Chain A
Amino acid sequence: MIYLDYGATTPVRKEVLEAMLPYFSDKFGNPGSMHQKGLEVKNALDQARHKVAEIINCKADEVIFTSSGTESINMAIKAVARAVKARGKHIITSAVEHHAVLDSVNYMKEEGFDVTILPVDREGLVDPQELRKAIRDDTILISIMYANNEIGSINDIRELAKIAKEKSILFHTDACQAASYCDITVDNIDMLTLDGGKIYGPKGVGILYIKEGTPMKKFLHGGSQENNRRAGTENVPYIVGFAKALELTQLDRKKEIMRLEHLRDKLIQGILQTIPDSFLNGHPTQRLPNNVNITILNVEGESVLLKLNEVGICASTGSACNSKTLEASHVITALNLPYEAAHGAIRLTLGKQTTEQEINKVLEVLPSIVEDLRKISPTNIKKEDMGR
């Protein structure tokens, strides 16, 4: 089995699992309890919080543990926008955000907020000038992703955050995909989302960093956990696992980036050279070291996926046929590419266990899969028709 869908989720590292295990049974206490059982767990929780805070360079109190990246994003947008709506009701985001962001801001429209969705350039990046132009007097919140989950393009998040800072507008970034490979210290950023399932930690846990003093309306009501910002007994084993996973991403980051970039570029070059009428989606260099997203014209992504699956390769696609709503990837179509480009978009995301042999295997089987499907395809769209 060759797993090339690390962008969807990653396996839990052995060290992470080991760190988590005691907190299921031996150290099962409730961190809110005033007894030995509770205190030992509370210490672990505090340690985890401090560890995360140290890595992203913030105060421990500024970290809220949540159930997922999706929850963090919902909180950053809904809970914060509601708290500052007296100042204005305008939110800015970009066209290639994760659905958690896009659907949340759309939902806020129902509460009377106005939303500007910034276009992106051909490489999927937000132009800081466009952001400047979109800012209005009543803009209260900007949410732009650090690195894109589908095409891997990495935004100049420091520059974007600086613009927001100048205008005193709250800035949130979804850094779920960026966490393992980019600098995630928070600096000018007011809010930042991370997810456990993307950094070799457990699924079902995430964080929202929220700068001290940022107003927010409580979202989940109940106890006064997380500094009275999120009720619910802390999911201690998962939080411990998250902190451990985040710590490990920092240890061998540089080496891993080098290794993956080499494999990524080999895969990209290999596919583009052997498969005619294919092109890379996203930025050629300013992209995640583990992301390959290539459009192969005249074939349909789901068909390619199933054929890859048959030879033991796991990948993903932006094709409409593969989505429950039968809608093509909003990310690929936002690159000013026609619908057909999303139809044939294949995403391969590399990770820790990916080896050179695996890349070679993909390069060996993919061209013939495409050739087979093209034989029975009546269309003949050329790369040039797409302006690529």
Chain B
Amino acid sequence: MTDWFYTDIVKDHFFNPRNIAKSEEEMKAFMKKANGHGQVGSPACLVKDTHIHEKDKMEKISKIGRGVDVINGEGGYNKVTETYKRKVNEEVIKIKNQLGEAILTKDHLIYVIPLPLKDYYIHNKAKKKIPPTWVHAGEVKKRDICLYPISRLIKDKKYVEIPLNKRLFDYKSKKIPSKVRVTPQLLKLLGFFVAEGSTKENAGDICFSFNINEESFIDYVKRALKEIFDLDASMSIKREQNKIDVLVYNVHLARYLRDSCGKGASYKRVPKSILSLRPELQKNFIYALWHGDGYISLDPKKPRAEYSTTSRELVNQLKILLLRQKIKHSIYIEPPKKVNGVNHKQCYRVHVGEYEALKKMSKILKVNFYYPKINRKVENSWFENNFYYLPIKKVEKTKYKGEVFNLEVEQTHTYLSESLILHNCGDVMDMWIYVKDNKIKECRWRTFGCASAIASTSILSEMIIGMSIEKAMKIRPQDIVKGLGDLPARKLHCSVLGDKALRAAIEDYKNKK
């Protein structure tokens, strides 16, 4: 045979895999003898309230079913082919970054750049050169860099459609166009509605409430309603509250706004059709949304732009929109509180504070950017190749008792929580070890996969025989690849999982001891 796709070592291990059971009986016997067993891809890994990005909304993982489209780790989307759940009572890992937090079982794989424990890397751009890989949640450290994809769903709609079903007893509503062109004006109007608007249930009342000094926005909304829908708005001034309401009555428009932007402040959302528009057009929506409900302050002491909402959906969509503009930001959750006797619901706050990000934000909000450039701190988050790279702020272990869930996702095998790229449970690998006197004496394994998956597990099984468990714990994918001579780059992430199965087996051994 002439030239081969893989190295000779890979070939050797693929055709003659080491440390495998010759028969079912032998396997069974070894499973009895083994005192440690590890698995990669064991199902059910996230606590039930974890919110996952479906194609166009957020959903709790416990409520996602088969066939649903979820956003994958590359910013596209795939179908869920299977769902899993199980009950656990064990230590779980809480991982926090600027975008939020996630609670997962120790063996769940997440996509990060694991930083070596050397200061050199942490204060240097060298960390950008380390390739990202799948790491068990239990092994993730503070300051490791996680990746978050920038949405790639672009579908430039030219029109939005407004259903004009006839309603009984409604004589007031004018007929409005059923197809409206997507223009900056429309996007701004929708932005103002999501921020400031409300509708009355089952009626045609639409209200935008502005602060009394926001005259230019008031005029803008009135003009937009007239020009797009030919609707005349009235104003109601509430002096004691310093507010002006822009009011208009139209059943069709009210229904459209309710359906596409959500009803009630906590359920507000970005209309689906806007999420996939070109980033350039989306700026118009961000402009109005932010001016309506957020603020920007370029006070040199504490320059920042902030936006707060009680809608979890909206904050996550805003995240998608901002990442598309490559604007760095963080998201905080403010717990429910009582201020001056008024109950405030749990609220989500988007914070933009970084120099470049503020500059971009000012441009979108059409605010003069006069904030002088200051000495930049070490860049610890960055954008590259359609990903947002951001450091892990906190890793915490906590006890958890209850149900955990996982999904299986077609093709990419990845899905997205509010803050992390998660691996599903697709790839399966088993590793059994027999440890005596702190050394691995024997092992057996099983793996599903291509030649490189089989060869990498085989060579690992050879490497660890006679090794102390401490040393075996330290084996990394790079060591395996080195042992094999090399692997094609595209095969690295998907096929080298043996080290994870091994560590899980050693953990299992330690727990049993």
Contacts and interface: CB of A to CB of B under 8 A. Distances in A.
A327 interface: yes
Interface in B453-483: 453-454
A328 B1 CA distance: 27
A295 interface: no
Contacts of B495: 321
Contacts of B445: 376
A303 B10 CA distance: 12
Contacts of B23: 375
B320 interface: no
Interface in A228-259: none
Contact of A321 (B20, B446, B449): B449
Nearest to B452: A321
Interface string B419-432: 00000001011100
A378 B14 contact: no
B160 interface: no
Contacts of A350: none
B446 A377 contact: yes
A326 interface: yes
Interface in B138-157: none
Interface residues of B, number: 29
A319 B452 CA distance: 14
Interface in A302-334: 302-303, 306-307, 309-310, 319-322, 324, 326-328, 333
Given A320-B411, A326-B490, A375 B20 contact: yes
B245 interface: no
A3 interface: no
A338 interface: yes
Nearest to B426: A339
Interface in B14-30: 14-15, 17, 20-23
Contacts of A299: 448
A327 B428 contact: no
B450 A339 contact: no
> Among A299, A310, A319, A321, which residue has the most Cβ atoms of chain B within 10 A?
A321
Given A302-B451, A306-B451, A339-B410, A326 B494 contact: yes
Interface in A266-312: 298-300, 302-303, 306-307, 309-310
Interface of B is mostly: mixed
A328 B448 CA distance: 15
A164 to B, nearest CB: 27
B450 A322 contact: yes
B411 A327 contact: yes
A333 B451 contact: no
A357 interface: no
B81 interface: yes
Contact of B448 (A300, A306, A320, A324): A300
> Among B81, B411, B430, which residue has the most Cβ atoms of chain A within 10 A?
B411
Contacts of A338: 81, 410
> Among B449, B453, B490, which residue has the most Cβ atoms of chain A within 10 A?
B449
Nearest to A327: B411
A338 B409 CA distance: 10
B12 to A, nearest CB: 12
A379 interface: yes
Nearest to B23: A375
Interface string A208-236: 00000000000000000000000000000
B447 interface: yes
A303 B446 contact: no
Nearest to A307: B15
Contacts of A300: 448-450, 453
A375 to B, nearest CB: 7
A40 B14 CA distance: 57
> Among A328, A339, A379, which residue has the most Cβ atoms of chain B within 10 A?
A339
Given A303-B451, A306-B14, A322-B450, A378 B429 contact: yes
B497 to A, nearest CB: 12
Nearest to A333: B410
B80 to A, nearest CB: 11
A328 B450 contact: no
A322 B490 CA distance: 11
A203 B246 CA distance: 69
Contacts of B446: 376-378
A339 B447 contact: no
A375 B21 contact: yes
A302 to B, nearest CB: 4
A320 to B, nearest CB: 7
B356 to A, nearest CB: 30
Contacts of B14: 303, 306
Contacts of B81: 338-339
Nearest to A372: B17
A376 B17 CA distance: 9
Contacts of B411: 320, 327-328, 333, 339
Contacts of B494: 321, 326
Nearest to B491: A321
A326 B450 CA distance: 11
Contacts of B453: 300, 321
> Among A299, A319, A376, A377, which residue has the most Cβ atoms of chain B within 10 A?
A376
Contacts of A302: 450-451
Contacts of B426: 339
A377 B450 contact: no
Interface string B105-139: 00000000000000000000000000000000000
Contacts of B410: 333, 338-339
B490 A376 contact: no
A378 B448 contact: yes
B490 A379 contact: no
A230 B81 CA distance: 46
A321 B448 contact: no
A382 to B, nearest CB: 15
Nearest to A338: B81
Interface string B171-203: 000000000000000000000000000000000
Given A303-B14, A327-B411, A339-B411, A378 B1 contact: no
A303 B445 CA distance: 17
Contacts of B448: 298-300, 377-379
B450 A303 contact: yes
Contacts of B452: 321
A368 to B, nearest CB: 13
Contacts of A333: 410-411
B156 to A, nearest CB: 9
> Among B17, B22, B429, B454, which residue has the most Cβ atoms of chain A within 10 A?
B454
Contact of A378 (B17, B447, B490): B447
A302 B491 CA distance: 12
Contacts of A339: 81, 410-411, 426
Given A303-B449, A321-B491, A376-B446, 15 more contacts: A300-B448, A300-B453, A303-B450, A307-B15, A310-B15, A320-B411, A321-B494, A321-B495, A339-B411, A376-B20, A376-B454, A378-B429, A378-B430, A378-B447, A379-B428
12 contacts: A303-B450, A306-B14, A310-B15, A321-B452, A321-B491, A321-B494, A326-B490, A326-B494, A339-B410, A375-B22, A376-B20, A377-B447
Interface of B: 1, 14-15, 17, 20-23, 81, 410-411, 426, 428-430, 445-454, 490-491, 494-495
Question: 10 closest pairs, A vs B, by CB?
Answer: A321-B450, A378-B446, A302-B450, A378-B430, A339-B410, A377-B448, A378-B428, A379-B448, A376-B20, A300-B450
